[in-house]
Homo-oligomer: A and B are copies of this chain.
Amino acid sequence: MKYTKPYQPPTVTVDAVVFQLSDSGLEVLLTKRSEEPFKDSWALPGGYSAQGETTLEALAIKVKSKAGVNIHEDLKYIEQLYTFDSVARDPRGHAVSVTYMGCGLNITPVDSSEEAAFFSVDNLPSLAYDHANIISYAHQRLSAKLTYTNAVYGLLPKRFTLTQLQTAYEAVFGRDLDKRNFRKKFLSLELIHETSEMFREGAHRPARLYEFNKQKLESLTRSFD
Contacts of A3 in B (CB 8 A): 48
**A85 vs B9: C-alpha distance in the bound complex, in angstroms?**
14
Residue of B nearest to A14 (CB): B85
**A82 vs B141: C-alpha distance in the bound complex, in angstroms?**
14
Copies in the assembly, this chain: 2
A50 engages B87 (CB within 8 Å): no
Residue of B nearest to A92 (CB): B1
Residue of B nearest to A55 (CB): B85
26 interchain pairs, CB-CB under 8 A: A1-B47, A7-B48, A7-B50, A8-B51, A9-B9, A9-B11, A9-B48, A9-B50, A9-B51, A10-B49, A10-B50, A10-B51, A10-B52, A11-B51, A12-B12, A12-B96, A49-B96, A51-B94, A52-B87, A54-B85, A54-B87, A55-B85, A55-B96, A56-B85, A83-B98, A96-B98
Residues on A facing B (Cβ under 8 Å): 1, 3, 7-12, 35, 47-56, 80, 82-83, 85-87, 93-94, 96, 98, 223
